[in-house]
Amino acid sequence: MGAMLYQAVTLRFKANNNQAEYEALIAGLNFALSLAVKRIQVFSDSLLVVNQVNQTFETKEEVLKKYLQLAKSLISLFENFSLTHIPREENQVADRLAKEGLPDLHRTQVFERPSFECTEVSSEKQPPCWMDEILDYLKSGTQPSDRREAQKLKLACTKYALIDGELYRRSYAKPLTKCLRLEETLKVMKAVHQGECGTHARGRSLVMRILRQGFFWPNIHKDAQVFVEKCPQCQYYADMQRQPAGYLKPINSSWPFAIWGLDFLGLMPTAIRGYKWILVAVDYFTKWIEAKPLTQPIAQSVENFLWASIVCRYGIPMVIITDNSTPFANQKVHNFCEEHQINLKYASVWHPHTNGQAEAANKNILNILKKCLDGAKTRWPKELPGALWAYITAPSEVTHEAPFSLSFGMDAVILIELEHLSPRVEAAASFEPEALQTWMDENDDSRRVDLDLLEQKRELASIKRLEHKRRIERYYNRKVNPRIFNKGDLVLKRRLLAGSNLGVPKLEPNWEGPYIVREVAGPDAYYLMTIEGTQIPRSWSGDDLKRFYA
């Protein structure tokens, strides 16, 4: 453990918080240079200063630009330098010193004016320009000493002409196009792209327009693409991304009633007792559905449903998957699951695919109710049990097994079998009273065999379902355009109304932000925070994010 050295600064001029953070950074760098330090790691709780020095954020304020220039000149004097952002609670020593000050005033520097006014930063030499060799050759015939390079320069100069001291290039779009230096190119691109006659054109269109206006420089295509990528208006008003960002990862359940998906179906037409919602739960293995009509989607109703309709009937599940709506994402439901050791998982915001099984169950129930109710829409609570019974006794197209069969090992006896005497009902009805007891004993033995074969039936259904999911996965993944974000990346978030049926006002942007990726929650799921460090609740899908170029 080395010695701890302290340095304090007193500012006797008016400065805001960001300027004070820069003064502290510059004072620390000067202090380290006075100690002949060559390698340095700097930690700061100022997100703005860290990102501006690391060139993640663009510096727009003129005063901060001067501070940044001075800081970079000092940083260049170190062999190795790094600047890392840390939360304020991890920067307690410096925070305490800033509040209490140093007891030894001899170690306190007093600044009467800003550092950039006191220190003369030596201006760097103008970097070499791509036009220098061509100008030297056309003006004085200067050539490189290497014969090949000289021949190459002569060939290149045949495309250029020197007129009144200005360099022009012969082109196909116009007889002559004026050659620009690096510092001039940004002004031209900005004027053509977003000036008075600018249309915020894409990269190739921007290049064509610049050439038609009579300007040229090497790498014009690459520079135009980078410029358009960083244009704030082009990023905020960009079209919605239709291709998914992450690959499909099916959720598989190993045995019945281990994983349940929960969701609300509504608003429904107001029925007797004020019912307007349906709370739906579906088992991921058997596709068995439980549903209950409710007046309001509240946390207490969810807790009661989980206890009475899930735990008391099918045992404690391993996992429950829900969306991020308030009835599910609250402390009451969280405490219930924690008490019963249930792993409660939430889908990303605005990403129903994560809980696709519950969404599919909602669709199936709604389709059955629509056809059963016809004109009497308010009778849906009365028809709901029949709709559930119809669903759980109908065989699936994938497994050719009904949820009832996968749960109990046999097909349910439905009303039509009693009316028209199906073979199994007719066999039982045709026995004489004396032979009925023998048949019942044989039937009991047959049911035991069915139960013994139930595991085999479930395994076969599971294999068929896995193969079906693989086919869907292959089809879905062909459309994926992978977009992977890392911790610390700047992103824009899709506005919740953008692309929805509610619609966004015509002149409003489709994206908002920028935000910082605070943590990678999982495959194609991310936690975000604002530039100021405020954490955004719940995870967000990569489908609703796009990279932001500062």
The Cα–Cα gap between 9 and 24 comes to 7
Domain membership flag for residue 237: no
My answer on whether 106 and 140 are in the same domain is: no
Same domain, 283 and 432: yes
297 shares a domain with 389: yes
Degrees (nearest 5) of the Cα angle 55, 118, 8?
Answer: 75
Q: Please report the pLDDT score of residue 254 as a whole number.
A: 80
| Structural tokens at position 517 | 């990726």
Does 473 reside within a domain?
Answer: no
Q: How far apart are CA 460 and CA 454, in angstroms?
A: 10
Each residue's pLDDT tens digit, 188-244: 998 888 887 788 888 888 888 888 888 999 989 999 998 888 888 888 888 888 888
Mean pLDDT of 301-329: 90
Output the DSSP codes for 447-462.
HHHHHHTHHHHHHHHH
Q: How confident is the model at residue 73 (pLDDT cuts 50, 70, 90)?
A: confident
pLDDT tens for residues 255-299?
A: 889 999 998 887 888 888 889 999 999 998 888 999 999 999 999
Query: Does residue 281 sit in the same domain as residue 308?
Result: yes
Q: Give me the phi and psi of 168, to 5 degrees please.
A: -125, 150
Beta carbons within 10 angstroms of residue 183's beta carbon: 10
Whether this model's pTM surpasses 0.75: no
- pLDDT band (50, 70, 90) for residue 121: very low
Question: Under a CB-based contact definition with an 8 Å cutoff, are residues 244 and 479 in contact?
Answer: yes
- Indicate the burial class of 124 (C-beta count within 10 angstroms; 0-12, 13-18, 19 or more): exposed
**Is residue 406 scored above 60 in pLDDT?**
yes
What's the pLDDT at 125? Answer: 45
Mean predicted confidence (pLDDT) in 312-340: 90
Quick one: 183 and 109 in the same domain?
no
User: Residues 41-52: what's their mean pLDDT?
Assistant: 84
Domain around 191: 131-230
CATH number at residue 223: 1.10.340.70
Q: Residues 279, 366: one domain?
A: yes
Q: Is the pLDDT of residue 107 over 60?
A: no
217/169 Cα distance (integer angstroms): 9
- Cα 139-143-146 angle, rounded to 5 deg: 170
Q: Name the pairing type of β-strands 490-494 and 343-346.
A: unpaired
In tens, the pLDDT along 365-403 reads 888 888 888 777 888 888 888 888 988 888 888 888 889
Percent of the chain with pLDDT over 90: 12
Question: Of the residues 396, 420, 437, which one is the last residue of a structural domain?
Answer: 437
Instruction: Clarify whether residues 112 and 160 are in a common domain.
Output: no
Predicted confidence (pLDDT) at residue 21 exceeds the cutoff of 70:
yes
| Dihedral sign for Cα atoms in the order 137, 140, 141, 142 | negative
H-assigned helices in 403-485: 403-408, 415-420, 423-429, 433-452, 454-477
Task: Kindly give the residue spans of alpha helices, DSSP state H, lying in 158-230.
Answer: 182-194, 203-213, 220-230
Residue 500 has pLDDT above 60, yes or no: no
DSSP string, 68-124: HHHHHHHHTTSSEEEEEE--GGG-HHHHHHHHH--S-GGGEEEESS-HHHHS-PPPP
In this structure, is residue 145 part of a structural domain?
yes
Q: pLDDT tens, 354-373?
A: 777 788 888 888 888 888 88
The count of structural domains within the chain is: 4
Q: What are phi and psi of 264, to 5 degrees?
A: -100, 140
Q: Is the pLDDT of residue 499 over 80?
A: no
